[in-house]
Structure 1
Amino acid sequence: MNNTEVLPVSMTERSSLIRLYLSRGVLAIAWAAAFAAAHATLNAVAIILLVAYPLIDAVSSLLDYRAVPNGPERRVTALNGALSTVIAIALGVAGTIGAAAVLGVFGVWAVLSGAAQLIVGLRRRGPALGKQWPTLISGGLSFLVGATYVAQATGESPSLHVLAIYATGGGVFFIAQAVLLVWKARAHRSND
């Protein structure tokens, strides 16, 4: 599919994506605040938060999967949801091992989910859903930052404070994408 092709998008699909992106953004920022306060030691609270973050992504992927029509984008969304579920389990285990293991697992997840986000953003670039710049930038940054986390995990003093920064950035990009979709919907209605 080329990027200039007009995709038929129902108001329901657009509204679902707006709610989903806004919810994901707010949840990511709330998670970042909670994790920033709890990450100093890998205790039960920190591990629960670590497991919760990819589960939020898995549930969001399921909702996204249900909101869009069949196609390659939907399969990538399903794969990302399954990956996030596996990563939640892996983070629970890594949390019992230490910060380096957590940072490594989180980094791998950021790389893979960033790649998936790039694919979905590219698929949604048509005029009906906007150009998806926040999604594309966020996916690209996730990919790059994830690779950095994997490298940091092998260093001498891996730190988990960067995960709160990562989640905050992701939250801001999701909220920006929701705002752009609202703007696009209003522009589309005024053109009709």
Structure 2
Amino acid sequence: MSTHTAIPSAPAAGERSSLLRLYLGRGILAVAWALAFAGAHEDLDALAVTLLVVYPLIDAVSSAIDHRALPHGSQRKVTALNGLLSTLAAIALAIAGASGVAPVLHVFGAWAVVSGAAQVIVGVRRRGPELGKQWPTLISGGLSFLVGITYNIQAAGDNPSLDVLSVYATGGGVWFILQALLLGWKSRQLRATTA
């Protein structure tokens, strides 16, 4: 029985490092956005609409950065599609912001469903010895999908509210930060086995 330990390839180590920075930055921005939006959404004014547009744009930029770092394949296509859909969501939120809370919640909910599904697909394809089990990414994507459906139900109700969006962003940010921490732990673990 061989006791040889496989040495992680440079591309895999580079992808881990890139993802760690991306997830950490994405998580911190999401929490910062949640704090800003919590204090600005009582009136659906220019500031609130601007913040609504910014949130999916953060996701679009993150997808573009991730897309550049990925090798060719279906994972790259899903990431590119998610970036495109996030950009379209930003445009749709700018338009919906002029029509009131319910349309905004409908658009945000639809985007949460699509981006959550994309996150789950990418998380499943990234699972493995180099990038870990991806549980925070999978849980976050699954919750985004389910919460998006809930937002559309709320939007059709009598008293739709945008309060839930700060909670959504905070939760997403925490999951991204947790995934970054797990990737950091995975990198240290792999370095220790090859030392």
Partner of 1:186: 188
Q: Which amino acid aligns with 2:52?
A: L
Q: Which amino acid aligns with 1:189?
A: R
Contact 1:7/1:126 (<8 A) preserved = no
Q: 1:141 aligns with which of 140, 143, 146?
A: 143
Unaligned runs of at least 5 residues, structure 2: 1-7
Q: Which amino acid aligns with 2:34?
A: A
Q: Which amino acid aligns with 1:62?
A: A
How big is the shift at 1:9? Answer: 4.5
How big is the shift at 1:114? Answer: 0.3
Partner of 1:106: 108
Unaligned runs of at least 5 residues, structure 1: 1-5
* TM norm structure 2: 0.94
How big is the shift at 1:8? Answer: 8.0
Contact 1:61/1:77 (<8 A) preserved = yes
Distance across 2 between alignment mates of 1:136 and 1:151: 23
1:119-161 alpha-carbon deviations (Å, 9 max, x no partner): 0000001111000000000000000000000111100010001
Distance across 1 between alignment mates of 2:70 and 2:191: 20
Partner of 1:170: 172
Give the number of equivalent residue pairs. Answer: 187
- Aligned residue for 1:129, secondary structure, equals coil
**4+ residue runs of structure 1 moved beyond 6 angstroms?**
none
Contact 1:35/1:164 (<8 A) preserved = yes
Contact 1:9/1:129 (<8 A) preserved = no
Q: 1:83 aligns with which of 82, 85, 88?
A: 85
Contact 2:12/2:130 (<8 A) preserved = no
- Percent identity of equivalent pairs: 67
1:39-86 alpha-carbon deviations (Å, 9 max, x no partner): 001000000000000000000000000111111111000000000000
Distance across 1 between alignment mates of 2:182 and 2:70: 18
Partner of 1:3: none
| 1:36-115 equivalence runs, <5 A | 36-115=38-117
For the pair shown, which has the larger CA radius of gyration, 1 or 2? 2
Distance across 2 between alignment mates of 1:8 and 1:173: 26
Contact 2:113/2:144 (<8 A) preserved = yes
